[in-house]
Amino acid sequence: MDQPALAVTALAVTALAPTAPEPAAPEPARWVRFHGRRPTFRRLVMRGALLELLTAGFYRFWLATDIRRHLWSHTLIDGDPLEYVGRARELLIGFLVATAILVPVYLAYFLIGLEATRLQAFAGLPLVLVLYVFAGFAAYRSRRYRVTRTVWRGLRASMTGSGIGYALRMVAWDLLVVISLGLALPWRQAALERYKMRHTAYGTLAGAFDGTGGALFRRGWPLWLLAIPGVLLIIPIPFLVAAFRAILWQWWVSNIRFGAVRFHSYLDRDSLFGCYWKATGWAVLLAVMMGLWLGGVLGIAAALATAPVPGGTPDYAMAFQHPLVVAGIAIGYLLMVLGLGVVIRIYLTRDIWARIAETTAIHGLSAADGVTGQGSAADALGEGFAGGFDLNLGGI
């Protein structure tokens, strides 16, 4: 599970430089604010979806960049906006490089698969495993790209660490989670966050993560109990997911530290219900519309189907394969996918981002005054792999 680049709001730090330091008085809390306007964002993602359609998906690099620029630049930390300095061209190059690396990998897989299928009919598992380990690597490198493209008050956040090291840790922890039927999840989250934050910094302020698996477990265990009956009943799923995400975010934000700068999140367990329900409602509506469209297209095709021999049954298979029918189905499908993308970006990306930002307080900002030091900007290879592998890494 990737922690979207919201990590970077944590890089927030500093109060107005105090003219006379008063160590006696405790420093008042500072706040994170989100000033992005919803209609602006909606226009941005709708236009983006249309352009993705026109460009057969190539626009995705520009859309992702524009979304990040919007979210970052309207997120204010102590009155100063974050700035995202990544550019779509970097993502495109990262994607092309990743592709060049993937070609031999795919070819090797094909040849290995040739050997494996002789042993058993359906041997798709190895590739899934390879992709899964790779996804961990790509997620870490993607985060590194996003973090190092985040600027606040003229200073870049930085990130080091090894994508492969992270991927191996992730695999080991996931094994434990599976063996423990999900009970180990809080400790997995804590361990992986510690690794990520340990390698993150803002200038000379080293990042750290103080969260423990135990604390997360104490807040989340009812959800674990409810998971099986909840999934079986289907309806509660959005509630469960929303509560789980809210608990996770609250725990995560509240345990981030940069030097002596600490954060606290006032996000409630039910804060994200609305976002998830709206997204679910729209998804169901889109699916119903897609069903009606499909039924309409196939119905017309069936009505126009002709029999190969007079008096015989109409050849429906033939009619359904008519190019116009295929094109109609394809157009309906693409529109649904793009609509779903818009819905997810508005309700699950922007709205959740805004809610988390608005409920975050910062303590001890003066520790960040006059911080110096600049990390280097990482490449976008991880993002390229993620794009090439069709992985949804938080979508931001």
Partner 1 sequence: MPPDQADRPPAVFYDGASNRRHPVRLVTGPDLAMEEDGVTIARWAYGDIRRADGDGRLRLRCLSGPPLARLEIADEALAASLLARLPASGRDAGRGHGRARQIVGWSLAACVSILALVLYGIPFAAGRLAPLVPLSVEQRLGDATDTRLRAMLGGRVCTRPDGAAALARMVEALGTAGGIARPVEVLVLSSPVANAVTLPGGRIYVFDGLLRKAETPDELAGLIAHEMGHVHNRDGLRTVIRAGGTSFLIGLLFGDVTGGAAIIFAANALLDAAQSRDAERVADDFAAATVTALGRPPAAFGDLLVRITGSDSRGTILDSHPVSVERLDRLAAAPGTAQTLSSGPALLDDAGWQALRQICADAATGSHPGPDGPKGPVRRSDKQNRP
Contacts (CB under 8 A) with partner 1, residues 173-212: 203
Give me the least distance between CB of 371 and partner 1, in Å please. 5
What lies within 8 Å, CB to CB, of 280 at 6+ separation is: 238
- Binding flag, residue 19, partner 1 (CB under 8 A): no
Query: Which of 237, 283, 337, 367 forms a contact with partner 1 (CB under 8 A)?
Result: 337
Query: From CA 246, how far away is CA 223, in angstroms rounded?
Result: 12
**Neighbour tally for 325: CB within 10 Å:** 17
What is the footprint of partner 1 within residues 104-123 (CB under 8 A)? 106, 110, 113-115, 117-118, 120-122
Q: Which amino acid is at 187?
A: W
Backbone region of residue 73 per phi and psi (left: phi > 0; alpha: psi in -120 to 50; beta: other values):
alpha
Judged by CB under 8 A, does residue 74 bind partner 1?
Answer: yes
Contacts to partner 1 from residues 355-384, by CB under 8 A? 368-372, 374
- Which one, 78 or 193, has the nearer CB to partner 1? 78
Site for partner 1, residues 51 to 70, rule: CB under 8 A: 51-52, 54-60, 62, 66, 69
**294-323 footprint of partner 1 as x/- string (CB under 8 A):** --------------xx-----x-xx--xxx
- Please pick, from the candidates 139, 155, 253, 286, the single residue that binds partner 1 as defined by CB under 8 A: 155
Which one, 66 or 90, has the nearer CB to partner 1? 66
* DSSP secondary structure, 263-316, as one string: EEE---TTTTHHHHHHHHHHHHHHHHHHHHHHHHHHHHHHHH---SSTTS---H
The interface region with partner 1, picked from 49-57, 134-142, 212-220, 242-250 by CB under 8 A, is: 49-57
The full length of the chain comes to: 396
Is the Cα dihedral 145, 147, 152, 156 positive or negative?
A: negative
> Which candidate, 244, 205, 202, places its Cα nearest to that of 223?
244
Looking at beta carbons only, is 186 or 339 nearer to partner 1?
Answer: 339
Instruction: Name the minimum Å distance from CB 18 to partner 1.
Output: 12
> Distance from CA of residue 255 to its chain's centroid?
20
* Interface of this chain with partner 1, residues 224 to 263, rule: CB under 8 A: none
Please tell me whether residue 79 binds partner 1 under the rule CB under 8 A: yes
Kindly indicate which of the ranges 13-21, 211-219, 291-299, 350-358 contains the residues binding partner 1, using the contact rule CB under 8 A.
13-21
- Between helix 323-343 and helix 38-54 the angle, nearest 10°, is 150
Contact of 390 with 58, CB cutoff 8 Å: no
Interface pick for partner 1 out of 41, 95, 134, 173 (rule CB under 8 A): 95
Binding segment (CB under 8 A) for partner 1, from list 157-165, 181-189, 206-214, 333-341: 333-341
Copy the structure tokens of residue 249: 């975010």
Range in contact with partner 1 (rule: CB under 8 A) among 73-81, 159-167, 213-221, 266-274 = 73-81
360-363/261-265 β-pairing: antiparallel
Q: For partner 1, give the closer residue by CB, 186 or 203.
A: 203
